[in-house]
A and B are shown apart, each in its own frame.
Chain A
Amino acid sequence: MSGKHKTPMLDELEKGPFPSFITEIKKARNSSAMPEMADDELGQLEKSYNSKRGYWKHGGIVGVLGYGSGVIGRYSSLPDEYPGVAHFHTYRINQPSGFFYTSKALKEICDIWDKYGSGLTNMHGSTGDLVLLGTTTENLETLFAEYSSRGWDLGGSGSAMRTPSCCVGQARCEWAMIDTMDICNTVTQHFQDELHRPAYPYKIKNKISGCACDCVAAIARADISVIGTWKGDIQINQAEVKKYADSGMDIQSDVIDWCPTECMSFDGSSITIDNSQCNRCMHCITRMTKALKPGKERGASILVGSKAPIVVGSLLSWVIVPFMKMESPYEEYIELLENMIEWWDDNAKPRERIGELIEVKGMRPFLEAIGVDPQPQQVYEPRKDPFFFWSESDFA
């Protein structure tokens, strides 16, 4: 269909080489059974571009029976002017680990969405869900029946465990020290109740990266961050080192000079590493993968606390467990997760994230509650001031 709104501002954004979201919104009018949704989305957006403000109300109360998560209410504040977006709710489908799909599966999702929604999606939302953008309250139960009966459940939202997510890991990455996709899937399945029924003080996120490159931004965007790593000596294949050198790589300036711990050297034909000094940063391995492989004992570092700035500033996750084996069915990790979450759930105020709670209560009560010893790997440096607590147990 062609639209009923004139959109000169938005039309500007159809020009240029980068794919245009405006073209996408226009396109949705051709496939959705409710073309007025995408059309009024365009109309309202054009108005925003002119007035420099949004016209969405705070999320309302919508959901599917029995769940408190996965659907986010969205209503236009101008429903008379733009009736097509009077309801424009988000339906979050829990993505498969690693964002892998077959065309058959995706087309099935699209066909259902065109019938009961706007035809617009986000591939994917910030947390990881496959986000369907814009449906009405009355279609929610139908969507849930259609999708869940075909194996697609809702993801998390609100004060719940949020949909876990992971990097591509061992499916395609030679640097993956742990099976990120399996861990993600196992955790997601384990916490179904906590994902769908928001009973926590606030949101809690879990992301899993296979190595220190951290492609899923676990260290910055997950309350509980898992980062694959290793123990033991980096495995060196000197024949391959030589091949890199022969192919013209300047090993000294591209690799050795960047080693943050200055634990590597290159004598013109072979590499030596003082592994006791290596901090496993991954730089050398990513530069010369054929010649350098991580040590043989694989596992993960578990870090806790990261979040965006609301309320008292951003946090990056802190090292809590320097090394943990991560082998299916991941009982040790899941037990740790449960213990950390339980401590937070018992102690946090509403809308307090786990990192903020640790700041308020201190690291000691947290570590004691989850049974982790203090270790120098958890800090950059020890405290500077001479003010510190003693507790009864220290005198025993």
Chain B
Amino acid sequence: MEQSELQDKIFAYLEKMKGKKKLKEKDIFKAIMAETGEDKATVKTALREMINVGRVMYSYGGGASSVEIPSEEYLKEKGLL
């Protein structure tokens, strides 16, 4: 699968889960591996790239870290919007 397609799937999954469950990287790997049949390393690379460019981000709340879609405010402040 193309990297960009994989990343779109990751993004769609994050959108779907928004507000329902705080996702850890591991949860995302599991879901996307099941959906696409890709291996963990591939999904991880795709996700990490999205994090590096600010398409998704690490978040922290309730005493634990998670992965989320960034808010507009975050993107503005990083000069990405």
Contact = CB atoms under 8 A, between A and B. Distances in A.
Interface of A: 58-59, 61, 63, 65-69, 72-73, 137-138, 141, 157-160, 197-199, 201-202, 345, 350-351
Interface of B: 24-26, 48, 51-54, 57-61, 63-65, 68, 71, 74, 77-78
23 contacts: A58-B61, A59-B60, A59-B61, A61-B59, A63-B58, A65-B54, A66-B51, A67-B58, A68-B51, A68-B58, A68-B60, A69-B58, A69-B65, A73-B60, A141-B78, A158-B64, A158-B65, A197-B51, A198-B58, A198-B60, A199-B24, A350-B24, A350-B64
Contacts of A351: 63-64
A68 B52 contact: no
A67 B60 CA distance: 12
Contacts of A350: 24, 64
Given A58-B61, A158-B65, A202-B64, A66 B52 contact: yes
Nearest to A63: B58
A158 B60 contact: yes
Nearest to A159: B65
A198 B59 CA distance: 9
Which of B26, B54, B58, B74 has the most C-beta atoms of chain A within 10 angstroms of its own C-beta?
B58
B60 A61 contact: yes
A245 to B, nearest CB: 57
Which of B26, B48, B64, B77 has the most C-beta atoms of chain A within 10 angstroms of its own C-beta?
B64
B55 to A, nearest CB: 11
Nearest to B54: A65
Contact of B24 (A59, A72, A141, A159): A159
A345 B24 CA distance: 11
A92 B48 CA distance: 22
Contacts, number: 60
For the complex of A and B, the 6 pairs showing the least CB-CB separation, nearest first, are A68-B58, A198-B65, A158-B65, A159-B65, A199-B25, A66-B52
A72 B58 CA distance: 12
B56 to A, nearest CB: 11
A138 B60 contact: no
Nearest to B74: A61
B58 A65 contact: no
Contacts of A160: 65
A159 B71 CA distance: 21
B23 to A, nearest CB: 11
Contacts of B71: 61
Contacts of B51: 66, 68, 197
Contacts of B26: 199, 345
B60 A197 contact: no
A72 B71 CA distance: 17
A158 B58 CA distance: 10
Contacts of B57: 61, 63, 68
Contacts of B74: 61
A105 B24 CA distance: 37
B42 to A, nearest CB: 16
A159 B67 CA distance: 11
Given A199-B25, A350-B24, A65 B52 contact: yes
A234 to B, nearest CB: 46
Nearest to A160: B65
B21 to A, nearest CB: 10
Contacts of B77: 137-138
B75 to A, nearest CB: 11
Contacts of A59: 60-61
B45 to A, nearest CB: 12
